[in-house]
């Protein structure tokens, strides 16, 4: 008893301080913790989104315009690029700007504690409301502060819009209605997904009128809101029609979600999966609490009734919007697009503790039953995969369980058991124990965050892997360090291979400009501007018009005419001073984009005056159980031989001797081949493979 009394005494002394001091402490502590974790994100890895927002911020800081690869872009909101643009203005070196942008993220996203507290105060005392504020910055999705994503700005703005909507329902003055639309507009300028907030603003007064049984008079009080919304719709439709454009263009980059081809069955399934995963994300008890309020709002206080009328359309419209998009565009559970509603579920728990929301048996039992059973609807085997690392953090602990021996089939019933236990705790806990449920939710958020950030399939590992796949140099801004940040460096790219080297080097180096591609548009880059080129018989690259672009510097996998200034040996990229047209002087045949090759590989170098070629080789120790031999032939003579022990990466050095036409030509022949599908159970690769050809390095 003495310990309990002491704890209560400490809590009383803490709550005796001014609320603004406590809230400021929550924001500062959250920002500091997120800054520390953000350092563990060594490179952008949610591509190409992070590249796009860095390009927008960089161009805004340098030119005052939203540009991507130097081309105006109107498909993305300006709020988030404007927030992080100072980082690119303050720092010339991109790694420093990247670190500062993540610090800005940490501060901005931590501000979500303030509207979360304000929302909770509509129905709860300061103590439980402060707990909701803390939980708002403990949600696992706060880990996005380590990424350059709009979630960082949208989360606090979304909660602010929800708060203004609740207050406007309580006091429907014209000024508050205008303020609500302004805040929703700012949210829309951050993410077009905020169109759901406008829908909620229109629907919420109707629901509130039905709950209060004064629908007609209440709608009259919202004449300002409906008048402005109606006028805005008419003006938007007229403006886009007069310009010969579709009104759907107002959705910017999200217009793709409006296409045809949606299936009612698929949409319903994705709605169910998103609701079930959201139930799991918020920790079951919070989901049950808000659902109980929705099922029986009239017994609550006037403020709680307004809260129910506001949150129902906000949550439903947002989740349905996200689920419809996912059913056709991403085919995954897009928790990253709906986690913003989490504090809305936690506020009713604080309301139960304060007595503002009665714990009526029928809605309580119904809500607990639904919340407890929903997790069994999640098809873990379908959605627990690498895409969950960026989009569905609440599934990562279940991946951890699968790694430790629980198969996906039984995993659904483990989730059901956990859901039922949490629902029972919600139903059976007396009012005085409700704060314990808030504390347990906080512990759950922390545990999910630990797995999502530092687990085997966590964000940090994804970030490290993303950097390793794109840059192996000690300094990721190695191009800028060699030629200067103001240089104009072309990037010559084959999209048939891994795109990380392009995206990462473009991200970390200001000097990288025009991207020339030989394989048509990259299907994974979201339509980034690029210049297609083709190779003439003499190796010169020409655009679609037949014109050969002239550049000063260029980065390329293949050797090009010019002076080699630097090379990323691990990736195979070379930085050249060209001062003229782009000309391939090497042609390599027989090597696939994943560096595997069959028994024969040819290397041809134009304008060759001799020198030596170093080829880094390897095999797969799971595919080859004995030493592979690769022999190099030049003009019919053996000029080199390498023995590849499984698991090692030897180098084969070949002297180059030019032929009569100034061309060096080498044939590499491997002695052994293996078909993966014949050797490894479950492997569908039917190619006949001999060796990896990781890099071809020429030296004079």
3-state secondary structure 329-377: HHCCCCHHHCHHHHHHHHHHHHHHHHCCCCCCHHHHHHHHHHHHHHHHH
Q: Where are the alpha helices (DSSP H) in 486-589?
A: 500-508
- Pick from 584, 607, 625: which residue ends a domain? 584
Burial class (CB in 10 A: 0-12, 13-18, 19+), 145: buried
Q: 3-state DSSP helix/strand/coil percent for the chain, to nearest 5?
A: 55, 15, 30
CB proximity list for 491: less than 8 A, separation 6 or greater: 502, 505, 506, 512, 513, 514, 515, 516, 554, 555, 556
Question: Per the structure block, which two tokens stand in for 459?
Answer: 């964000």
Here the CATH number for the domain that contains residue 600 is: 2.60.120
| Count of domains forming the chain | 3
Q: Please say whether the dihedral angle defined by the alpha carbons of residues 409, 412, 418 and 424, taken in this order, is positive or negative.
A: negative
Q: Both 502 and 397 in a single domain?
A: no
Taking the chain (700 residues) in runs of 10, the rounded mean pLDDT of each run is 47 65 96 96 95 96 93 89 98 97 98 98 93 98 98 98 98 97 97 96 97 95 96 84 67 57 91 98 96 94 96 98 93 97 96 81 94 96 95 96 87 93 93 90 98 96 94 96 97 79 95 89 75 90 93 93 92 93 92 90 91 93 93 94 94 92 93 91 90 88
Q: Which of 562, 584, 606 is the last residue of a domain?
A: 584
Q: Which residues pair with 560 in a beta bridge?
A: 584
Do 613 and 576 belong together in one domain? Answer: no
- Element holding 322 (H helix, E strand): helix 302-325
What's residue 699's pLDDT?
84
What are the tokens at 144? 């996005």
Question: Are residues 427 and 522 both part of a single domain?
Answer: no
Domain holding 638, by residue range, is 586-700
Q: CA of 321: how far to CAs of 23, 152, 210, 257, 258, in Å?
A: 32, 20, 24, 9, 10
Q: Which two tokens stand for residue 503?
A: 């995206």
Residues in the chain: 700
Do 477 and 447 fall into the same domain?
no
What pLDDT does residue 660 have?
A: 81
pLDDT on residue 145: 98
Q: Are residues 397 and 493 in the same domain?
A: no
CA distance 496 to 287: 45
- Give yes or no: residues 519 and 387 share one domain: no
Q: Based on the domain organization, do 484 and 618 belong to the same domain?
A: no
Closest alpha carbon to 357 in 167, 120, 159, 170: 120
What pLDDT shows up at residue 1?
44
Examine residue 3 and state whether it is found in any structural domain, yes or no. Answer: no
* Residue 679, CA distances (Å) to 257, 622, 623, 689 in order: 43, 9, 7, 12
Helix (H) or strand (E) holding 585: none
- From 552, 584, 616, give the residue that closes a domain: 584
Tally Cβ neighbours within 10 Å of residue 456.
10
Tokens of 641: 């031989």
Placement of tokens 């590989």 in the chain: 601
* Residues 602, 523 share a domain: no
Output Rg (C-alpha) for the chain, integer angstroms: 30
Is 611 in contact with 656 (CB distance < 8 Å)? yes
At residue 530, φ and ψ (nearest 5 deg) are: -155, 165
Residues 6+ apart with CB under 8 A from 90: 97, 100
Closest CA to 71 of 434, 527, 379, 427: 527
User: Listing from the earlier edge strand, what are the strands of the sheet with 563-568?
Assistant: 541-543, 531-535, 512-517, 489-493, 550-556, 573-581, 563-568
The three-point CA angle 403-404-410 to 5° equals 85
- Joined together, the tokens standing for residue 307 give 């809260």
- The pLDDT of residue 594 is 81
Residues 110, 116, 121: CA angle, nearest 5 degrees: 145
- Residue 414 inside a domain? The answer is yes
What is the predicted pLDDT for the residue at 646? 92
Mark whether 423 and 520 lie in a shared domain.
no
669: tokens are 């022949």
Helix (H), strand (E) at residue 678: helix 676-679
- Asked whether residue 477 falls in the same domain as residue 505, the answer is yes
5 falls within a domain: no
Contact between 446 and 395 under an 8 Å Cβ cutoff? The reply is no
Q: Per the domain annotation, does 674 fall within a domain?
A: yes
Instruction: Say if residues 665 and 604 touch (Cβ distance below 8 Å).
Output: yes
Asked if residues 213 and 230 have their Cβ atoms less than 8 Å apart, the reply is no
d(CA 131, CA 442): 9
Query: Would residue 478 count as lying in a domain?
Result: yes
Q: Are 119 and 343 within 8 A, CB to CB? A: yes
Does the residue 467 lie in any domain? Answer: no
Q: Is residue 665 part of a domain?
A: yes
Is the residue at 7 inside a domain?
no
Give CA–CA dist 250/243, Å, rounded.
13
What would the pLDDT profile of 553-573 be if each residue is shown by its tens digit? 999 988 899 999 999 988 889
Same domain, 97 and 206: yes
Angle at alpha carbon of residue 126, lines to 121 and 127, rounded to 5°: 130
Same domain membership, residue 450 and residue 484: no
Look at residue 247 in the predicted model and tell me its pLDDT. 63
Residues 54/81, Cβ–Cβ less than 8 Å: no
Give the pTM. Answer: 0.89
């Amino acid at each position: 008893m003495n310990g309990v009394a002491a704890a209560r005494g400490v809590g009383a002394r803490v709550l005796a301080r001014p609320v603004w001091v406590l809230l400021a402490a929550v924001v500062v502590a959250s920002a500091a913790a997120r800054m520390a974790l953000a350092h563990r994100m060594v490179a952008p890895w949610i591509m190409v989104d992070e590249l796009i927002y860095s390009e927008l911020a960089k161009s805004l800081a340098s030119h005052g315009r939203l540009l991507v690869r130097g081309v105006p872009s109107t498909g993305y909101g300006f709020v988030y690029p404007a927030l992080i643009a100072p980082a690119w203005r303050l720092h010339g070196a991109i790694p420093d700007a990247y670190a500062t942008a993540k610090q800005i993220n940490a501060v901005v996203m931590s501000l979500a504690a303030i509207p979360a507290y304000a929302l909770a105060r509509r129905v709860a005392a300061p103590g439980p409301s402060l707990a909701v504020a803390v939980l708002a910055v403990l949600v696992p999705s706060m880990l996005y502060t380590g990424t350059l994503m709009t979630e960082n700005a949208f989360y606090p703005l979304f909660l602010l819009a929800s708060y203004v909507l609740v207050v406007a329902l309580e006091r429907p003055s014209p000024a508050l209605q205008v303020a609500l639309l302004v805040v929703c507009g700012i949210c829309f300028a951050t993410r077009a997904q905020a169109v759901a907030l406008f829908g909620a603003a229109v629907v919420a007064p109707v629901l509130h009128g039905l709950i209060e049984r004064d629908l007609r008079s209440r709608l009259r009080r919202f004449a300002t809101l409906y008048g402005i919304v109606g006028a805005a719709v008419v003006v938007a439709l007229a403006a886009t029609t007069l310009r010969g454009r579709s009104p759907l263009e107002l959705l910017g980059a999200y217009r793709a979600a409006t296409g045809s081809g949606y299936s009612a069955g698929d949409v319903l399934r994705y709605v169910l999966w998103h609701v079930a995963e959201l139930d799991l994300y918020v920790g079951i008890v919070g989901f049950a609490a808000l659902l109980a309020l929705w099922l029986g709002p009239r017994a609550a206080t006037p403020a709680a009734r307004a809260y129910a009328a506001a949150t129902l359309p906000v949550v439903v419209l947002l989740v349905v919007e996200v689920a419809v998009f996912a059913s056709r565009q991403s085919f995954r559970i897009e928790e990253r697009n709906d986690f913003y509603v989490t504090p809305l579920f936690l506020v009713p728990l604080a309301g139960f503790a304060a007595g503002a929301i009665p714990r009526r048996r029928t809605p309580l039992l119904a809500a607990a039953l639904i919340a407890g059973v929903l997790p069994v609807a999640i098809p873990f085997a379908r959605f627990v995969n690498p895409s969950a690392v960026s989009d569905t953090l609440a599934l990562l602990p279940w991946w951890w369980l699968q790694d430790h021996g629980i198969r996906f089939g039984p995993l659904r019933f483990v989730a059901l058991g956990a859901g039922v236990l949490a629902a029972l705790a919600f139903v059976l806990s007396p009012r005085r124990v409700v704060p314990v449920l808030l504390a347990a939710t906080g512990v759950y958020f922390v545990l999910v965050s630990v797995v999502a950030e530092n687990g085997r399939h966590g964000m940090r590992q994804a970030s490290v892997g993303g950097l390793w796949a794109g840059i192996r140099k000690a300094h990721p801004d190695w191009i800028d360090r060699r030629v200067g940040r103001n240089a104009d460096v072309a990037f010559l790219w084959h999209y048939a291979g891994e795109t990380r080297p392009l995206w990462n080097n473009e991200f970390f180096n200001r000097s990288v400009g025009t991207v020339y591609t030989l394989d048509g548009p990259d299907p994974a880059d979201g339509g980034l501007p690029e210049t297609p080129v083709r190779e003439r018989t003499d190796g010169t690259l020409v655009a679609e018009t037949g014109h050969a672009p002239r550049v000063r510097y260029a980065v390329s996998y293949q050797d090009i005419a010019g002076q080699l200034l630097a090379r990323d040996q691990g990736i195979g990229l070379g930085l050249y001073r060209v001062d003229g047209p782009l000309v391939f002087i090497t042609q390599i045949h027989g090597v696939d984009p994943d560096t595997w090759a069959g028994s024969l590989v040819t290397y041809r170098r134009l304008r060759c005056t001799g020198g030596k070629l170093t080829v880094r080789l390897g095999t797969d120790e799971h595919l080859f159980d004995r030493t592979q031999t690769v022999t190099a032939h030049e003009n019919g003579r053996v000029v080199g031989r390498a023995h590849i022990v499984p698991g090692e990466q030897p180098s084969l050095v070949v002297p180059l001797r030019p032929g009569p036409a100034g061309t060096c030509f080498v044939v590499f022949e491997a002695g052994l081949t293996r078909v993966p599908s014949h050797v490894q159970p479950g492997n569908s690769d039917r190619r006949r493979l001999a060796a990896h050809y990781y890099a071809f390095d020429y030296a004079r």
